[in-house]
């Protein structure tokens, strides 16, 4: 191995470390923003979940699961008061968003929209489970109208925005190559 090959390897490792650090900082920012309880249409959008799904879709199942687990821990540590399904939900959906495109569909925007609907549905199911576990004052139909359906719509909207942001950062670091994942 020549000196130039070693330097090239270091730069590649440095570039990889920088984009992982960039995604990590973006995840921390999203978690802090989500825990600030900013409400849109009466519900708090799950920005961290949207970002994790986009990271899983673009970087693959390993990064999706790792960032999902870290995002779940961040949400639990910053804003959760007790029982939290975020760890399991975020890690599962991050992994699925990374693993399923290679098996079912290709990695393009149309496929991402399909996965957005699927992951939004899983998020809706977990929200419903969480709601049933902790709620005593709402009726289920009222919860669908006030909490669950608006949260699903915001989740899908933010997942689309997160896809654009993650793809832009990925392209900045990786460049447009033929062997690129996207």
Domain range summary for the chain, segments of one domain joined by +? 13-174
Give Rg (Cα) of the chain.
18
pLDDT in tens, the chain (182 residues): 444 444 444 447 777 788 788 888 988 888 888 878 777 777 777 888 888 888 888 888 888 889 888 888 888 888 765 556 677 788 888 888 888 887 777 777 788 888 888 888 887 887 777 777 776 666 777 777 777 788 888 888 888 888 888 888 888 877 655 444 55
The pLDDT of residue 80: 60
**For domain 13-174, which CATH number applies: 3.40.50, 1.10.10, 1.10.1760, 1.10.287?**
1.10.1760
The b/e string for 75-99 (b: 16+ C-beta within 10 A; e otherwise) is bbeebeeeebbbbebbbbbbbbbbb
Q: Is the pTM of this model over 0.85?
A: no
Answer for the pair 82, 148: CB distance below 8 angstroms, yes or no.
no
The pLDDT of residue 175: 64
Distance CA 34, CA 181 (A): 29
């Amino acid at each position: 191995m020549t000196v130039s090959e070693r330097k090239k390897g270091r730069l590649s490792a440095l570039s990889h470390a920088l984009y992982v650090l960039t995604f990590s900082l973006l995840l921390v920012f999203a978690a802090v923003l989500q825990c600030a309880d900013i409400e849109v249409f009466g519900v708090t959008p799950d920005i961290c979940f949207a970002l994790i799904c986009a990271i899983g879709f673009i970087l693959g199942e390993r990064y999706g699961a790792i960032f999902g687990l870290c995002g779940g821990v961040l949400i639990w540590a910053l804003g959760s008061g007790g029982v939290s399904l975020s760890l399991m939900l975020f890690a599962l959906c991050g992994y699925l968003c990374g693993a399923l495109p290679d098996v079912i569909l290709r990695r393009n925007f149309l496929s991402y929209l399909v996965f957005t609907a699927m992951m939004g549905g899983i998020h809706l199911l977990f929200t419903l489970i969480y709601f049933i576990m902790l709620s005593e004052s709402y009726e289920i139909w009222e919860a669908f109208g006030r909490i669950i359906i608006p949260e699903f719509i915001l989740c899908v909207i933010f997942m689309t925005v997160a896809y654009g942001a993650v793809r832009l950062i990925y392209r900045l670091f990786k460049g447009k190559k033929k062997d690129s994942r996207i």
